[in-house]
Structure 1
Amino acid sequence: METNVQRVSSNSKWESIVGYSRAVKKGPFVFVSGTTATDPETGKIAHHGDSYAQTRLIFQNIERGLLALGASLGDVTRTRMYVVDMGRNWDGVAKAHAEFMKSVMPAATAIQVEKLVDPAMLVEIEVDAVVL
């Protein structure tokens, strides 16, 4: 493993099964893996059926990963949102995204997906950040 690469884990069961880190920092670049509304205390998906509440929890989970690597939501340069059933869930996702990102205004992409790994997941978000 390279010494100039920092990794942080959230201890999600998926990290060891799939073989990935919650977030990785190399130089000024921070990459946060696809993040879902997993309750950090229980490891279970929270806020079933509520895309707004799930997205808020996702950004809180993302922020923990960023902070562990010396970054913040203010350093985010890109977000990618994977949304199940855009017609039903987009308004909640967009509202929560704006609450966390409106002052940052990162490049953003929203993609409708058929499903995510757990049927209770309505949205998954990944972010890239640059720390200067």
Structure 2
Amino acid sequence: MTGIFNAIDSAASGVTVDRKWMDAVSDNISNINTARRTSENAFQARYVVAQAVDYGSGAGGVQVGGIALGDAQGRVVSDPDNPLADADGNVRMPDIDLGSEMTQLIMAQRGYQANLKVVEAAQESYQGAISVGRGV
């Protein structure tokens, strides 16, 4: 039975990391057009850093090891109609690539779905073992 519980624990930890990954990507996408004054830092993209729990033991799953931030310099863009524009008509925008973020979102969603399937399969196995134990 411990194998089933290890599978549930590992997959559940993966679900948590994937959810945080999707949250970070969603935040990045929603701030892709956030303009700031050129004297300020650009919005910094968030990147989830995953790490193994008890690496090498075969148990433990994964956890969020931290959040890495993107470049605060961003990119300077000409937008003279923006109320935040400097005297030269420039604003600072985040250096976020929408294509890359969408790819990250798809990968996080697929990981989330796969981990949920593992949890469901392990729960079904556990329920089957209980039924056998009861003589049903």
- Which category describes the TM-score, using the shorter chain as reference length? under 0.3
More strand by share: 1
Q: TM-score, normalising length from structure 1?
A: 0.25
